[in-house]
């Protein structure tokens, strides 16, 4: 069974930094692209970032480009999101999601339960 477990969320001040992690199990992590998707409580889904199987291609939403960095460690079955220069509008539940393919973007066939990031002074 595929499992994705996010961690690292919390309260951070505007301008601060936070690193999210997603630990995967139940599938060959290194074979698949992975994504971060966020959701402001009570609002819709926003794709944040994606990374292909080997980490060589990454993509970001315009809203986070230049501030967020996605990486992965296939040996540790882990996905990361380094978030810098955080703003109040980054407050959201951050989901880790598994792509159905490895080297390009496709649909997301498994999701974690999310970790909450709150940016506030």
Partner 1 sequence: DVQMTQFPSSLSASVGDRVTITCRASQATGSSLAWYQQKAGEAPKLLIYGTSTLHSGVPSRFSGSASGTDFTLTINSLQPEDVATYYCQNYNPGPLPFGGGTKVEIK
> In the complex, which residues of this chain contact partner 1 (CB under 8 A)?
35, 37, 44-47, 50, 59-62, 95, 100, 104-114
Closest CB to partner 1 among residues 5, 84? 5
Which residue's CB is nearer to partner 1, number 59 or number 84?
59
- End-to-end Cα spacing for the chain: 40
Closest contact distance (angstroms) between CB of 35 and partner 1 is: 7
**In the complex, what is the shortest distance from the CB of residue 75 to partner 1, in angstroms, rounded to a whole number?**
26
Using the minimum distance from each CB to partner 1, give the nearer residue, 56 or 107.
Answer: 107
Min. distance of Cβ 8 from partner 1 in angstroms? 17
Residue 75 phi/psi, 5° resolution? -70, -25
The pair of three-digit structure tokens given for residue 77, joined into one six-digit string: 């079955």
Q: What is d(CA 84, CA 87) in angstroms, rounded to the nearest whole number?
A: 9
The smaller minimum CB distance to partner 1, of residues 13 and 28, is found at 28
Strands 108-111 and 78-83, bridge-based pairing: unpaired
The answer to whether 49 and 36 have CB atoms below 8 angstroms apart is yes
């Amino acid at each position: 069974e595929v499992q994705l477990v996010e961690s690292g969320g919390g309260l951070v001040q505007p301008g601060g930094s936070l690193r999210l992690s997603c630990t995967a199990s139940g599938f060959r992590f290194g074979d698949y692209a992975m994504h971060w998707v966020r959701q402001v409580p009570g609002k819709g889904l926003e794709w944040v970032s994606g990374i292909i199987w080997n980490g060589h291609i990454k993509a970001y939403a315009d809203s986070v480009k230049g501030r967020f960095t996605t990486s992965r460690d296939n040996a540790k079955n882990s996905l990361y999101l380094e978030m810098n220069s955080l703003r109040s509008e980054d407050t959201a539940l951050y989901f880790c999601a598994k792509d159905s393919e490895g080297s390009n973007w496709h649909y997301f066939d498994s999701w974690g339960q999310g970790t909450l990031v709150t940016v506030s002074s």
